[in-house]
Amino acid sequence: MRVKRLATMLLLCALPGLAAAQGHDCAGEPAYRAFDFWLGEWAVHDSDGKLRGHNRITSVEGGCALREEWRSVGGNSGQSLNYFSPQTGLWRQLWVDSGGHIIDLRGALKGEDMLLIGTIRYPGESEPKAFRGRWSPLGDGRVRQFFEQRDAGGEWRTWFDGFYSPAGTAANARDSSAANAP
């Protein structure tokens, strides 16, 4: 009887540890898949067609987050971690780059677009600026990323308007050569 009671106690103590070791199945839940249209290897052009850089978006931590790895044509880099919070029902993006900029955004899908709103902090400035981003899947397989910052008068101004094309595609190669032509 004493051995049986001891075995039962050990099993009860082990169950929480087993559950934690197995983790949460983020990959199987639709809310965690809402930003998957951004996954991939991308060439990023501005609205004038000029190549601005390359971005790699990967699913990490068992599908619980997206990791962004950016490299501009000028050599600057940045990374973000994007995740869905079941507690708030919102997506969050935390970005930092090699220039010391920090972007902290939260939001959700609005139709088919991901709309995240928050702040950007510039190095040497004490107060953050209001900032927002919209990621829109386009019918041709590209993704548009549109960033705006609120100016001192309260107006939203375009900060970056970029178009993500799948890296290595024939259309992307053509676009890149045209963007770099004299």
Concatenating the DSSP letter of every residue in 33-83 gives GTTGGG-EEEEEEETTS-EEEEEEEEEEGGGTEEEEEEEETTS-EEEEEEE
Domain membership flag for residue 19: no
Whole-number pLDDT of residue 173: 43
Of the chain, the percentage scoring pLDDT greater than 70 comes to 80
Domain membership flag for residue 18: no
Total number of domains constituting the chain: 1
Residue 166 has pLDDT above 60, yes or no: yes
**Who contacts 95 (Cβ-Cβ below 8 Å, separation ≥6)?**
68, 78, 79, 80, 101, 102, 103, 104, 105
Domain membership flag for residue 93: yes
Domain membership flag for residue 46: yes
Question: pTM, whole model, 2 decimals?
Answer: 0.80
Whole-number pLDDT of residue 3: 47
Residue 2 has pLDDT above 90, yes or no: no
Query: What's the pLDDT band for 98 if we cut at 50, 70, 90?
Result: very high
In CATH, what number is assigned to the domain containing residue 166? 2.40.128.20
What is the span of the domain harbouring residue 70? 30-179
Phi, psi (degrees; rounded to nearest 5) at 158: -60, 130
Whole-number pLDDT of residue 168: 80
Domain membership flag for residue 96: yes
Domain membership flag for residue 10: no
Domain membership flag for residue 23: no
Domain membership flag for residue 20: no
d(CA 123, CA 116): 22
